[in-house]
Amino acid sequence: MATLLLAKYLITPLDAIDEAALLIEDGRIVTTGSRREMSLPANARIVDFGDAVLAPGLIDLHIHGGAGHDVMECSEGSLAAIERHMARHGVTSYCPTTVTAPVDKTLHSLDFLGKAVTNNANDGSRARPLGIHLEGPFLSHVKRGVHPSKLLQPASLDLLEKMWEAAQGRVDLLTIAPEIEGALELIAEASRRGVCVSLGHSDADLAQSRAGLNAGARHATHTFNAMRPLDHREPGLLGAVLTDNSLTADIIVDGIHVAPAVVDLFVRAKGLERSVLITDAISATGMPEGIYSLGGLEVRVHDGRCESDGRLAGSVLTLDRAIRNTIDFAGVSLQHAIRMSTFNPARVLGIEKRKGILTSGADADITVFTPKGEVIRTIIGGVTA
CATH at 43: 2.30.40.10
- Whether residues 29 and 114 share a domain: the answer is no
Is 209 a domain residue?
yes
Rg of the chain taking only CA atoms, in angstroms: 20
Confidence (pLDDT) at 385:
59
Is 216 a domain residue?
yes
- Report the Cα 265 to chain-centroid distance in Å: 20
Confidence (pLDDT) at 41:
79
What CA–CA distance (Å, rounded) separates 186 from 179? 12
Q: Which residues contact 373 (CB under 8 A, 6 or more apart)?
A: 320, 323, 324, 327, 334, 337
- Whether residues 97 and 49 share a domain: the answer is no
What CA–CA distance (Å, rounded) separates 111 from 115? 6
Is 88 a domain residue?
yes
Query: Cα-Cα-Cα-Cα dihedral of 185, 188, 248, 88, to 10°?
Result: -100
Out of 280, 320, 363, 365, the active site residue is 280
280 is catalytic: yes
Is 364 a domain residue?
no
- Whether residues 50 and 61 share a domain: the answer is no
Return the CATH number at 97.
Answer: 3.20.20.140
Angle of CA points 281, 275, 215, to nearest 5°: 95
Q: Is omega for the bond preceding 137 within 30 degrees of 0, making it cis?
A: yes
Spell out the SS3 assignment of 296-332: CEEEEEECCEEEECCEECCECCCHHHHHHHHHHHHCC
Is 363 a domain residue?
no
- Whether residues 17 and 85 share a domain: the answer is no
Is 361 a domain residue?
no
What CA–CA distance (Å, rounded) separates 193 from 339? 27
Confidence (pLDDT) at 39:
80
- Whether residues 262 and 346 share a domain: the answer is yes
- Whether residues 100 and 168 share a domain: the answer is yes
- Whether residues 199 and 88 share a domain: the answer is yes
- Report the Cα 322 to chain-centroid distance in Å: 11
Query: 50: left (phi > 0), else alpha (psi -120 to 50), else beta?
Result: left
Q: pLDDT tens digits, the chain, 385 residues: what are they?
A: 899 999 999 999 999 999 999 999 999 999 999 988 888 778 889 999 999 999 999 999 999 999 999 999 999 999 999 999 999 999 999 999 999 999 999 999 999 999 999 997 767 899 999 999 999 999 999 999 999 999 999 999 999 999 999 999 999 999 999 999 999 999 999 999 999 999 999 999 999 999 999 999 999 999 999 999 999 999 999 999 999 999 999 999 999 999 999 999 999 999 999 999 999 999 999 999 999 999 888 999 999 999 998 999 999 999 999 999 999 999 999 999 999 999 999 999 999 999 999 999 999 999 999 999 999 999 999 987 5
- Whether residues 146 and 225 share a domain: the answer is yes
Dihedral of alpha carbons 42, 44, 45, 48, sign: negative
Is 159 a domain residue?
yes
- Whether residues 126 and 139 share a domain: the answer is yes
Measuring CA to CA, which residue among 68, 65, 32, 55 is closest to residue 281? Answer: 65
For the chain, what is the domain count? 2
Confidence (pLDDT) at 381:
94
Q: How many helices (H) and strands (E) does the chain have?
A: 10, 23
- Whether residues 77 and 212 share a domain: the answer is yes
- Whether residues 96 and 151 share a domain: the answer is yes
What CA–CA distance (Å, rounded) separates 152 from 148? 7
Confidence (pLDDT) at 338:
98
Q: How many other β-carbons are positioned within 10 Å of the β-carbon of residue 1? A: 9
Range of the domain at 157: 57-356
- Whether residues 31 and 115 share a domain: the answer is no
Start-to-end Cα distance in the chain: 18
Is 362 a domain residue?
no
